């Protein structure tokens, strides 16, 4: 559904992604693991068009979108749950969900999002800035769903959450996958990644240094620890 072939990305003269190859199959979850500063967010931003200086091929449903602008890429059906949530803190929960909504017949609407996240329904009139970190993460996912994407790029949606909230947010992400959503999930935590991945990629200094199915990785966790520099 989405594939990156030999993608190079730059911030000015800094050559960040150095030939990334990665694929997300329809209905599957690919997880991109890597330490801080290795290029995970740059990969997501390259796909969605926030990074403009890039080479290679990023194809979505058979079309190379590498030269499209971010709004054009979003319109093709690529949704993003950005790092740090980026919710509108001065707007209510409901306003956050509806402000950029892209209604589609039979697609995601407020009712469906509230069914997935009953907490958001309970707090729909609250200022989003008053939500807990976990609730803000749910809101950020809900807002992305309201645009009815075909694929979701999730950039560390559980970052900074308590283990209990990590569990709750991951439960919803697993439900989304089971409902057929294709996704690319950026993570730092191996256990979280393994709980959902169909494919695991590890990025190190802008290059994919490992790719396999989670069952294979589980048989040889030393590889992951080596690439993620966990001793």
Ligand X SMILES: Nc1ncnc2c1ncn2[C@@H]1O[C@H](COP(=O)(O)OP(=O)(O)OP(=O)(O)O)[C@@H](O)[C@H]1O
State the residues that interact with ligand X by CB under 6 A: 11, 14, 16, 34, 36-42, 83
| Minimum distance, C-beta of residue 57 to ligand X, in the bound complex (Å) | 20
| Minimum distance, C-beta of residue 137 to ligand X, in the bound complex (Å) | 15
- The answer for residues whose C-beta is within 8 angstroms of residue 85's C-beta and 6 or more apart is 136, 137, 139, 140
| Minimum distance, C-beta of residue 15 to ligand X, in the bound complex (Å) | 10
Closer CB to ligand X, 120 or 197, in the complex = 197
- Residue 51 CB: number of other CB atoms within 10 A? 20
| Minimum distance, C-beta of residue 42 to ligand X, in the bound complex (Å) | 3
Closer CB to ligand X, 123 or 158, in the complex = 158
Closer CB to ligand X, 7 or 113, in the complex = 7
Closer CB to ligand X, 35 or 150, in the complex = 35
What's the rounded Cα separation, in Å, for the pair 85 and 87? 6
């Amino acid at each position: 559904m989405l594939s990156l072939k030999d993608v190079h990305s730059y911030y000015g003269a800094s050559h960040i992604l150095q030939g990334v190859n990665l694929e997300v199959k329809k209905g599957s979850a690919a997880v991109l693991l890597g330490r801080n500063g290795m290029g995970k967010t740059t990969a997501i931003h390259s796909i969605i068009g926030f990074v403009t200086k890039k080479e290679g091929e990023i194809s979505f449903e058979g079309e190379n979108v590498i030269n499209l602008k971010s709004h054009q890429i979003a319109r093709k059906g690529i949704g993003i749950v950005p790092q740090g949530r980026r919710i509108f803190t001065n707007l209510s929960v409901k306003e956050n969900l509806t402000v950029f909504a892209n209604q589609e017949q039979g697609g995601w609407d407020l009712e469906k999002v509230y069914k997935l996240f009953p907490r958001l329904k309970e707090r729909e009139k609250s200022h989003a800035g008053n939500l807990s970190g976990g609730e803000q993460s749910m809101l950020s996912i809900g807002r992305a769903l309201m645009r009815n994407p075909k694929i979701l790029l999730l950039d560390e949606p559980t970052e900074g959450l308590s283990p209990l909230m990590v569990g709750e947010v991951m439960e919803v992400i697993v439900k989304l996958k089971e409902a057929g959503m294709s996704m690319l999930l950026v993570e730092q935590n191996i256990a979280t990644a393994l709980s959902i991945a169909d494919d695991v990629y590890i990025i190190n200094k802008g290059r994919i240094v490992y790719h396999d199915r989670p069952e294979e990785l589980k048989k040889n966790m030393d590889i992951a620890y080596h690439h993620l520099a966990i001793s």
